[in-house]
Amino acid sequence: MKLSPLQIARYQYAPKLPGILRNSVSEICVKDGAPTASVADQEKIRALFPNTYGKNEITFQKGKNASVDKKTVVGVILSGGQAPGGHNVICGLYDALKATNPENVLIGFKGGPSGLLDNDFIVFDDEYINQYRNTGGFDIIGSGRTKLETQEQFAVVAENCKKHGVNALVIIGGDDSNTNAAVLAEYCAANNTGIQVIGCPKTIDGDLKNDDIECSFGFDTATKTYSEIIGNICRDANSAKKYWHFVKVMGRSASHVALECALQTQPNICLIGEEVAAKKMSLAQITDYIADSVANRAATAGNFGVAIIPEGIVEFVPEFSMLIAEINELLAGAKADAFNALPTWAEKYAFIEAGLTKEAMAVFAILPRTIQQQLFLERDPHGNVQVSLIESEKLFSEMVKDNLAARKAAGTYNGKFAPIHHFLGYEGRCAFPSNFDADYCYALGYNAFMLIRYGYTGYLSKVSNLSKPAEEWVAGGMPITKMMNIERRHGADKPVIRKALVELDGKPFRYFEEHRAEWAVETAYVYPGAIQYYGPSEVCDQTTKTLALEKG
């Protein structure tokens, strides 16, 4: 495999650990915090997790290690979508294991949770691990989206772990993956399998966070990668002065990525789904808001601009959510076959018009035809609209185009509008991790071993105080059940980790809100440039704007 000069150099980077984890393992002890309770539905969660609920939060501090030194065999999986830094979690876990006892073993199960079920694995050694230090991607063992949620699956996992003498499993994933980790931990505890389960918080969407988990790993690198591209687009827009760029970014359930990219680049428009939902904004209101910026800039700065659109924006628009719900009902069961059998769009349109309520049809009718047809593309496994397939950046640019045409006919607008569309998604998922993510992820892996060493299960590896230099980071753990509530999933009540949405009264959004009127009209772009790995700390080790504002 031919290596780039950057990859060779990154192999040599030594991630920075929290000060406490720089001590010998024999000099690290546990400080108990307060008992915990779930974020909601406490009695229901307690009943579902009798063996792992209500445990104390803990932090590590300097002192005599009271744990028993024994050979440890740990299994690890990567679960869900890729996020920069995943390799370093595994490297940190491996280094902690080997530093404690060279006889300790780390087994990587391939392809995500399915590797645990299929007993598809690799035993890590120095030569293999060293190829992946400080690199992006999940190719060290691959990932997958198989859910671990049935008793039969848990029994298979326990049996496969028994074959290898595995004492503990580390599950590196997002909210769903860590929910699965909590359920698996409860099963292992209830059945005395002798297997501990530890989770690590991963997702570039940024929606796995709370007072304890200040930031999920990968968010820093992904948003810096997107912001570099958006900054380049801003500069191109300001150079050509004739295009409006509509940039869709990752984030279906929350708008953290869009907000962070806006804070870094200061575009003319950035939609925040949580605000749209809170204000019950209609498609027409959102269109007017964007068109106002286009018109005002045409009269002052010129016929160009940049708008950031979160991937899941349409799900936050109440009238659009109503439309999707009715379409899901309209095409339920055999009715979908009848619809799909119709040969022309005109006949399908008539079928839709006859099946929707007057209110839903009014929303459907104002959509561009391409978007109308996207609503009836391939369904998900549950027969529902795949909202991720809707090109919301094109939806709003088309609606703005029609809005501006009406203004031009009324004599209130005389500019030009030439939209260009972008979707930034996969570009950020496997980037070389920033120094922050390289350090944070390595610390999460190293810390996960400390939780295993002290016998914890059902815990999330927790590293906090992240807005400070790494020396001041605080290492510890928290029960995963603390983040859980009950939600309705597929017709049944399920315990799940609550997704963190953008807080409209939080400092990051308030800062954005205070400045966006200025950015909408003026050309105030910031060009953050590429991620820097070498140079002054204030350039190379900076955190996200979101974290800096939150921790102020």
- How many CB atoms are closer than 10 A to CB 34? 7
What is the pLDDT, as a whole number, of residue 386? 76
Tokens of 141: 């063992």
Residue 386 phi, psi dihedral angles, 5° rounding:
-90, 95
pLDDT at 376: 86
> Where do the domains of the chain lie?
42-218+433-497, 222-314+385-429+506-551
- Best CA proximity match to 249, nearest among 278, 276, 219: 219
Q: The tokens of 118 are what? A: 């299929």
End-to-end CA distance of the chain: 44
Look at residue 427 in the predicted model and tell me its pLDDT. 94
Q: Which of 95, 175, 176, 205 is catalytic?
A: 205
Residue 406, classed as helix, strand or coil, is helix
- C-alpha to C-alpha distance for 61 and 477, rounded to whole angstroms: 12
Q: What DSSP letter does each residue of 313-353 carry, written as one string?
A: HHHHSHHHHHHHHHHHHHTSTTHHHHHHH--SHHHHHHHHH
pLDDT tens-digit profile of 349-374? 999 999 999 999 999 999 999 899 98
The pLDDT tens digits for 220-250 are 999 999 999 999 999 999 999 999 999 999 9
Domain 42-218+433-497: assigned CATH number: 3.40.50.450
DSSP 471: G
For residue 175, indicate whether it is catalytic: no
pLDDT at 381: 63
Q: Which helix (H) or strand (E) holds 35?
A: strand 28-35
pTM: 0.95
- pLDDT for 203: 94
Domain 222-314+385-429+506-551 classified CATH 3.30.420.130? no
pLDDT band at 66 (very low <50, low <70, confident <90, very high): confident
**Ramachandran bin of 62, using left for φ above 0, alpha for ψ from -120 to 50, beta for the remaining angles:** beta
Instruction: Write out pLDDT tens, residues 512-526.
Output: 999 999 999 999 999
Amino acid identity of residue 203, one-letter, is T
What is d(CA 169, CA 178) in angstroms, rounded to the nearest whole number?
Answer: 12
pLDDT mean across residues, the chain: 95
pLDDT tens-digit map of 475-511: 999 999 999 999 987 678 899 999 999 999 999 999 9
Give the 3-state secondary structure of residue 240.
helix
Average of pLDDT values for 409-416?
95
Are the CB atoms for 172 and 77 separated by under 8 Å? Answer: yes
* Cβ 360 vs Cβ 326: under 8 Å: yes
Tokens found for residue 307: 């708008």
**DSSP per-residue letters across 40-74:** S-HHHHHHH-TTTTTPEEEEEEES---SPP---EE
Q: Do 145 and 79 form a contact (C-beta atoms < 8 A)?
A: yes
Share of the chain above pLDDT 90, in %: 87
Kindly report the CA angle at 97 between 181 and 32, in degrees rounded to 5?
60
Kindly tell me if the per-residue pLDDT of 440 is higher than 90. Answer: yes
pLDDT for position 383: 65
pLDDT tens-digit map of 164-197: 999 999 999 999 999 999 999 999 999 999 999 9
Domains 42-218+433-497 and 222-314+385-429+506-551 share a fold: yes
